[in-house]
Amino acid sequence: IFQVVQRDSAKFLFEVKASMLELYNADLRDLLSRTKDPPKLEFKSHRQADGAVSQRLEGLTEVTVSCSSDLAKVVTTGLGNRKVRATKMNADSSRSHLMLVITMEVTDKVTS
């Protein structure tokens, strides 16, 4: 991702953002939220400019990242906020599913 950003930065403006969430006990949790008990995340329907309906995850924290070390920090933070409990087989077991979401918005510098 960041190699492409660097390679094409003369022609395009890039904004790269990262989010992390987990599905734990049928609830979606924002792993980057700064609140002690973040609210549960929910999908909401949104009508786009062309009339199409899309689903958007409301309230998910997005962090702007500009290099791989920024992204690594986001991942470290998210992993530290996962729900884990010891089991007989594993001291740091997680019964959740994790998603790392990377969003890249690209704007042509000439045509916008």
More confident residue, 83 or 63: 63
Distance CA 43, CA 5 (A): 30
Distance CA 43, CA 20 (A): 15
- Classify the C-alpha dihedral 55-99-78-106 as positive or negative: negative
Q: Give phi and psi for 79, each to the nearest 5.
A: -65, -35
Query: What pTM did the predictor assign?
Result: 0.80
Contact (Cβ atoms closer than 8 angstroms) between residue 66 and residue 16: yes
State the pLDDT at residue 56.
Answer: 85
Per the prediction, the chain carries an average pLDDT of: 89
Given a cut of 60, whether residue 3 has pLDDT beyond it is yes
Distance CA 62, CA 49 (A): 23
